[in-house]
Amino acid sequence: MQGGLGVDTLAGGDGDDRLLGGQGRDGLIGGAGDGVLRGQAHRGVQIGGLGADTLIGGDNPDVRVFASMAETGLGATQDHLIHYESGIDRIDLTGIGRLRFIGGDGFDSLAGEVRFDALLMWMVTGLLMAACNWT
C-alpha cells in the first residue's frame, strides 16, 4: 500500500504488509504480521505492531512507536530499524509504561530499566527483554 501527496494513514492487517509513505506527513501502522514500513520525504510516524517488523526511515525526522510490551521481541520476533539518525529520529516507548533510562550501565534487577549497548540495542528489564537492530 502506498501513500499519496497529502497526509495519509496507512494501516496493515494481520498479514505481512508492505506500507510505503507518500510525499506528505504519513502515519504507517503495521498489523500482526511481519511488516515492512518505509517512510518517504516528510516527517512520519511508524508503528510496527506485532510481529518482526522492518521500519525504514525517510529523509526527514521520523518517530518509531512501540505502543505496548507485546510489540517488542527477541530473536526472530525483534524489529529492525533502518535509516535511524541519532539526534533527528525518535523512538517512542511511552506506551510500554514507566521506564528509567540507565545509559550503558548494567541492569540492577529493577523492572522498567532501558539501556543501550555498544551495538545500539535497547533492552528493558522485568518480564520483558527486547532488542532492536539499528542500521
CATH of the domain at 75: 2.150.10.10
- Is residue 110 domain-resident? no
- Is residue 112 domain-resident? no
How many helices and strands (H and E) does the chain possess?
A: 0, 13
Q: How far is CA 64 from CA 1, 3, 70, in A?
A: 19, 18, 15
| Residue ranges making up the domain that contains 27 | 9-97
Higher-scoring residue by pLDDT: 130, 68 = 68
CA dist., res. 67 & res. 59, Å (int): 23
- Is residue 130 domain-resident? no
Q: 36-47: per-residue pLDDT in tens?
A: 999 987 888 999
Our count of domains for the chain comes to: 1
Output the pLDDT for position 28: 94
- Is residue 118 domain-resident? no
- Is residue 47 domain-resident? yes
Output the pLDDT for position 118: 52
Please give the model's pTM, rounded to 2 decimal places.
Answer: 0.77
Output the pLDDT for position 129: 43
Output the CA torsion 90→59→86→1 (10° steps): 50
Band (102; pLDDT cuts 50, 70, 90) = confident
**What backbone torsions phi and psi does residue 123 show, to the nearest 5 degrees?**
-135, 150
Instruction: Return the beta strands (E) in the chain as ranges.
Output: 9-11, 18-20, 26-29, 36-38, 44-47, 54-56, 62-65, 79-82, 90-92, 100-101, 113-116, 122-124, 132-134
Residue 76: strand, helix, or coil: helix
Any idea what the Cα angle at residue 96 is, between residues 44 and 53, rounded to 5°?
50
Identify the DSSP state of 15: S
- Is residue 108 domain-resident? no
Let me know if 18 is exposed, middle or buried by CB neighbors in 10 A (0-12, 13-18, 19+): middle
